[in-house]
Amino acid sequence: MLDTTGRVAMITGANRGIGNALARQLHHDGWTVSLGARNLDQLLETTADLGEERVSHHRYDANNRATDGAWIESTMALHGRIDGLINNAGVAHLNDLESLDDDALDDMFAVNVKAPLRLIQQCLPQLRTSGTGRIVNLVSMSGKRVSGTFAPGYAMSKFAALALSHATRQAVWDQGIRVTAVCPGFVATDMTDEFGPDKATQIQPADLAETVATIMRLPNTAQVAELLVTCVPEAMA
């Protein structure tokens, strides 16, 4: 396992849900965490108990390209390095096939696909320098299967996000960077308040975060390319 002491990870969407759990787990494991969220006030509030040691807070809006470079530059200025990038921020519009329109589709591709691509591209020099750089893309089981007529546009964006993850993994392997696509099913966050099985049976964000943290500690010789995490017996075809 890698020693996480002194390593720096950027996490998008860290103000709530899975991103917040990831911030807590990595910080607990010794990482310095650079946390990004569109709502900076909420981010500061929901991570206040982490203290100020090995934590920085940044405004990051997946729909605003200017925040990409500003966040990376600030992270480098504060911490001097970037060893990990977790693309967690996402958006879901639950339109059915007939009601899906360009605005909803464009928003999902902008946030779920294009924004992670830009961050990956801009973080590559630092991840390359690390020698053991890590990229984790929170994709979703909706990137592996289409569940009936449920949210076709969301699935389209997540299939694209999965392709991005695997394309990146192959492109950067020889640079010491390892990439994992994490595909969770129903996770007990506010996104699943209105659908899915009973909350008590859903994946807990803290459990998913611990799994991701373990993957990020693995050496370059033991990489997990894709991880499916489910709470129900998923139909994969």
Residue 2 lies in a domain: no
Residue 15 lies in a domain: yes
Tell me which residues of the chain have a pLDDT lower than 50. Answer: none
Q: Give Cα 40 to chain centroid, integer Å.
A: 18
Residue 91 lies in a domain: yes
200 CB neighbour count, 10 Å cutoff:
7
Around 212, how many Cα atoms within 13 Å sit in the side-chain half-sphere?
A: 35
Q: Give Cα 228 to chain centroid, integer Å.
A: 14
Burial class (CB in 10 A: 0-12, 13-18, 19+), 52: exposed
Report the chain's mean pLDDT, rounded to a whole number: 95
What is the domain-level CATH number for residue 98? 3.40.50.720
Residue 81 lies in a domain: yes
Active-site pick, 31, 60, 71, 154? 154
146 CB neighbour count, 10 Å cutoff:
17
Residue 163 lies in a domain: yes
DSSP assignment letter at 50:
G
pLDDT of residue 150: 72
Residue 173 lies in a domain: yes
pLDDT of residue 16: 96
Full-model pTM = 0.96
Question: pLDDT tens digits for 9-67?
Answer: 999 999 999 999 999 999 999 999 999 999 999 999 999 999 999 999 999 999 999 99
Question: 226-229 and 84-87 as β-strands: parallel, antiparallel, unpaired?
Answer: unpaired
Domain assignment of residue 136, given as a range: 8-229
| Contact by Cβ (8 Å): 182, 229 | yes
**Closest C-alpha to 139, from 88, 93, 186:** 88
- The tally of domains found in the chain comes to 1
Residue 112 lies in a domain: yes
154 catalytic per annotation: yes
Residue 235 lies in a domain: no
Give dist(CA 96, CA 146) in Å, integer.
12
**What are the tokens at 189?**
């966050």
**What are the tokens at 228?**
């499916």
pLDDT of residue 234: 87
